[in-house]
A = this chain, B = another copy of it.
Amino acid sequence: MRLAVLTGGGDVPGLNPCIKTLVNRAEENGWQVLGLRRGWAGLLNVDPARPVTEQTAWVEPLTARSVRTIDRSGGTYLHTSRTNPGKVKRSDLPRFLTASAKADDGKPIDCTLHVLKAIAHLGIDVLVPIGGDDTLSYAVRMHREGVRVVTIPKTMDNDVFGTDYCIGFSTAVSRSVEFIHALRTPTGSHERIGVIELFGRYSGETALIAGYLAAVDRTLISEVPFDIERLAALLLKDRADNPSNYALVVVSEGASMIGGERIESGGADAYGHRKLGGIGQLTGEALKKLTGVDIVSQSLAYLMRAGAPDALDRMVAISYANLAIRQIELGQMGRMMALQNGVYTTVPIDTCTSGQKRVDVGELYDSDAYQPRVRHPLGKPLFFY
């Protein structure tokens, strides 16, 4: 039996313990493991006409010894990419495919046939892609093409549909809570309003949970556009009520202002603002104008997913790997590993493409107060999802 593992999309802490466990368990079973480098790009770039041993830039055999220490670090030992072999730009084609490609019509090229050949060439029996929506959607394609696949969900935004939990979420929250509390010292010392921007393009869940756990004054999520004037009034009150005379607001990267145009009408630099500065800086500038209070503006960004995984991400990463190996032992293919209603389970592999996971605003958010409102935890899983 020969497995192949790949990691795609943004890296998160936890990928390495997951890879290590897959390799260790496979080796115990007497199986081989190939590491495909840079996500799906690994398969795209393997040349079926050349020996595997000459293509170590894209394929690397993994052994218990070679992955022994990787679990101590964040990121992914295998590197990662956002390549989708179903939609390859002509400029991204490996040279050996260029010749056979049809005439350039400006459209992306579907290299799936090639990928299937590469899988055969590598002698892969089962593919284990680890990734978010994009990576996993091509895994669905592979499954439909008849490849034996089991998948493992990861994203720091925790937004893969069909699972309560994706590897990387807990570390993102842990880091955010830690940083938010640390930022109380400059914000409080200067009696300012602190505006802290968190990654979370489509789903505000990291912001929601981090704001909930760090007990910040207000939390702005991607799902609910906010009224900057109401926000300013709330924060002025929060600050006045705080004996240390400061206030904190957490902003999801994907959040948006109601009537944002008005604020950006100042001129040609508005687009630049949005592009470069992000909603956190915009919000900070607007709050400064509306309240007269100085701002501490900080984007947590990559620091939320940099460094080693926290204990919970290790827990789930290792357990998903164990679960995946178990499925393979049982011949249960076409499944995505998942936590649902708080327990480890598996779901059909295409579950992730059958819906969108967003914050359940009605259940978990007060759209008037801009605060998490998690008043009915009964029956909900650990992180309410």
Tell whether A26 is near chain B: CB-to-CB under 8 Å.
no
**Bound-complex Cα distance A186 to B270 (A):** 29
Q: CB distance B342 to A378 under 8 Å?
A: no
Q: Which of B17, B243, B245 contacts A65 (CB 8 A)?
A: B243
Q: CB distance B311 to A174 under 8 Å?
A: yes
Q: CB distance A307 to B182 under 8 Å?
A: yes
Assembly stoichiometry (copies): 4
Q: CB distance A298 to B303 under 8 Å?
A: yes
Q: Which residues of B contact A285 (CB under 8 A)?
A: 276
Q: CB distance A380 to B343 under 8 Å?
A: yes
Q: Which residues of B contact A311 (CB under 8 A)?
A: 170, 173-174, 177, 213, 310, 312
Give the shortest distance, in Å, between A96 (CB) and chain B (any CB). Answer: 21
Q: Known contacts A79-B189, A174-B311: does B303 contact A179 (CB below 8 Å)?
A: yes
Q: Known contacts A272-B272, A342-B342, A377-B344: does B79 contact A302 (CB below 8 Å)?
A: no
Of residues 25 through 49 on chain A, the ones whose CB sits less than 8 Å from some CB of chain B are 38
Q: CB distance A326 to B376 under 8 Å?
A: yes
**Bound-complex Cα distance A191 to B37 (A):** 11
Chain B interface: which of A68-76, A104-112, A140-148, A253-261? Answer: A68-76
Q: Which residues of B contact A188 (CB under 8 A)?
A: 75, 79
Proximity string of chain A (189-222) to chain B, C-beta cutoff 8 Å, 1 when within and 0 when not: 1110000000000000000010011010000000
**Bound-complex Cα distance A335 to B89 (A):** 60
Q: CB distance B173 to A306 under 8 Å?
A: no
Q: Which residues of B contact A79 (CB under 8 A)?
A: 188-191, 245
A-B contact pairs, 27 of them (CB 8 A): A68-B242, A76-B189, A80-B190, A174-B310, A177-B311, A177-B314, A181-B308, A184-B306, A185-B305, A186-B306, A209-B315, A213-B318, A268-B272, A269-B271, A269-B272, A276-B285, A296-B302, A298-B303, A299-B299, A310-B310, A315-B382, A326-B376, A339-B382, A341-B341, A343-B379, A344-B377, A344-B378
